[in-house]
Structure 1
């Protein structure tokens, strides 16, 4: 099955990132559906972690958890990163297209699945004294993800190491600017709606 074959290639990208990301861009081995599937799996994995991780490392109250909130912590940052990176690299002679950025970012998230799933199972059998091992694996997953994201960004845009580091830093800054402008926009809309509603109420009382 082609989907399984494409999904299996994510492991090659994870363990051989230089060759993997090069093939994703220039050999057309990167698939958008696989990247979005990885994003979905990571979102589900985070929901499972918050609800079913062992009590030794889980400080969430299960009844207060809302699975929809995970969209704000996983999907929204993913989309913001892709949009901000594409917007920025367009001005910095980046060679990556928006689709390629989405694919590279999605494939870079595969370590979060590879480590979080066994770590979730491990969290239910470890003791408090063994919990540092759990947090060590969490850190390894995040560092591995950042390493793949770095190589993916560098390969997609054909940047140098220094320019890639600078671009990733500026991408985070642009993400903050987008969030600020978005909050400002919704605040203005809310104030405008409130203003219109107030005028409507006054006109209704006078009529």
Structure 2
């Protein structure tokens, strides 16, 4: 059973139309496997950030922070899922939140398959050979974008044009959620400072 669940994401990324259809209508997706993929993508991104060869790696090894790197993958992923679910609910989308999370996570799999070997390769290349490293990373991004397009179209049963519009609006919605979140935390911080100042004043007068 688990063997089939682990093999299914690999089937999806090479047969996306059939794979995402099976995920939605035959319930072949698995949320635990999906969340594991998201975590492994975070690990792959951290591995590349820290261990890519010096020719292609312009980051200082002393600036590495695993929590920040983890946040850079996990936060955008769940922002995408929440924004996509919120938007498609208003646009007659048929996808449930769990299906969006699972399908989006499966679409991330190319990053694991290509980031890790690209990072290992980068440690043995010369300056003239960096093009192949960039090609591998670029191909992972293009593959992911294609998969996220097909997953959105299949999960919500949209046309190609409506899918493209939905993806663009989802990105805008993600930015709006981030803006509201920053506004909320700024307001909370100001309220805390205000009440803390009053408390200190009363304590001083007392």
Alignment TM-score > 0.5, same fold: yes
The whole-number CA distance in structure 1 between the counterparts of 2:157 and 2:55 is: 44
Residues 1:180 and 2:179 aligned together? yes
2:136 match: secondary structure: helix
Report the Cα offset of residue 3 of structure 1. Answer: 2.4
Report the Cα offset of residue 114 of structure 1. Answer: 1.0
Task: Write the mapping of 1:108-123 to structure 2, written as runs, cut at 5 A.
Answer: 108-123=107-122
The whole-number CA distance in structure 2 between the counterparts of 1:147 and 1:23 is: 18
Task: Write the mapping of 1:8-47 to structure 2, written as runs, cut at 5 A.
Answer: 8-47=7-46
Report the Cα offset of residue 184 of structure 1. Answer: 0.2
Spell out, residue by residue over 1:125-158, the C-alpha distance to the aligned partner (whole angstroms, 9 max, x if none). Answer: 1111111111111110000000000000000000
Go from structure 1 to structure 2 and tell me whether the alpha carbon gap of 1:4 and 1:120 turns closer, same or farther (over 3 Å shift).
Answer: farther
Runs of 5+ in structure 1 lacking a partner? none
Report the Cα offset of residue 72 of structure 1. Answer: 2.2
The whole-number CA distance in structure 2 between the counterparts of 1:132 and 1:3 is: 38
Structure 2 counterpart of 1:102: 101
CA contact (8 A) 2:24 2:155 kept: yes
Runs of 5+ in structure 2 lacking a partner? none
Structure 2 counterpart of 1:156: 155
2:29 match: secondary structure: coil
Matched length: 206
Alpha-carbon RMSD across the aligned residues, in angstroms, is 0.8
The whole-number CA distance in structure 2 between the counterparts of 1:9 and 1:80 is: 25
Structure 2 counterpart of 1:77: 76
Report the Cα offset of residue 201 of structure 1. Answer: 1.1
Structure 2 counterpart of 1:126: 125
The whole-number CA distance in structure 1 between the counterparts of 2:97 and 2:150 is: 17
Spell out, residue by residue over 1:97-125, the C-alpha distance to the aligned partner (whole angstroms, 9 max, x if none). Answer: 00000000000001111111111111111
The whole-number CA distance in structure 2 between the counterparts of 1:72 and 1:12 is: 28
Normalized against structure 1, the TM-score is what? 0.98
Report the Cα offset of residue 183 of structure 1. Answer: 0.2
Residues 1:169 and 2:185 aligned together? no
Runs in 1 of length 4+ with deviation above 2 angstroms? Answer: 2-5
The whole-number CA distance in structure 1 between the counterparts of 2:130 and 2:6 is: 32
The whole-number CA distance in structure 2 between the counterparts of 1:122 and 1:7 is: 26
Structure 2 counterpart of 1:4: 3
Spell out, residue by residue over 1:76-101, the C-alpha distance to the aligned partner (whole angstroms, 9 max, x if none). Answer: 00000000000000000000000000
